[in-house]
Amino acid sequence: MDLIEVAPHAAPPVCKIMDYGRYKYEQSKKDREAHRKSRATELKTIRLEPQIDDHDLSFKLKNAMKFLGEGDKVKISVMFRGRSITHPEFGKRLMERIVQLTSDVASVERQPAFEGRMMTMILSPK
């Protein structure tokens, strides 16, 4: 048996008489359990085009809802090809529609903005 100082910063310091090897084992077990339960949020990307069909959009939004339900953030990217870059209002309208359809499970973390030939927006789970 060993005398172990459990809380050195308390007034007065707290000590226990126990087996030091067992104490270290219990602490490592707690650390492993805490590490197992923690999960970093990922950023999932969904790529669209401004002229996307309704069924294709609903399919991609179903995946986005699944990602948001799992706690991940979703980056929506609308890619403009060829002459479609001359009509950014189509992409803006598509982004607004996505925000309306996902408003019950997601909030807009970053508003739609152009990055080169892509308009991007980030949604985070509520």
Task: Tell me what the mean pLDDT of segment 41-52 comes to.
Answer: 92
Domain containing 89: what range?
Answer: 43-125
User: Is the domain of 61 the same as that of 75?
Assistant: yes
Considering only 30-39, 58-67, 73-82, which range has the smallest mean pLDDT?
30-39
Q: Is the pLDDT of residue 34 over 90?
A: no
Q: What is the pLDDT of residues 70-126, one digit of tens each?
A: 889 999 999 999 998 899 999 999 999 999 999 999 999 999 999 889 999 999 998
Q: Are 50 and 91 in contact (CB under 8 A)?
A: yes
User: Is the domain of 100 the same as that of 57?
Assistant: yes
User: Is the domain of 60 the same as that of 120?
Assistant: yes
Using DSSP's 3-state secondary structure scheme, residue 99 falls into helix
Residue 94 belongs to a domain with what CATH number? Answer: 3.30.110.10
User: Is the domain of 13 the same as that of 57?
Assistant: no
User: Is the domain of 52 the same as that of 92?
Assistant: yes
Residue 48 CB burial class (10 angstroms; 0-12, 13-18, ≥19): buried
User: Is the domain of 32 the same as that of 49?
Assistant: no
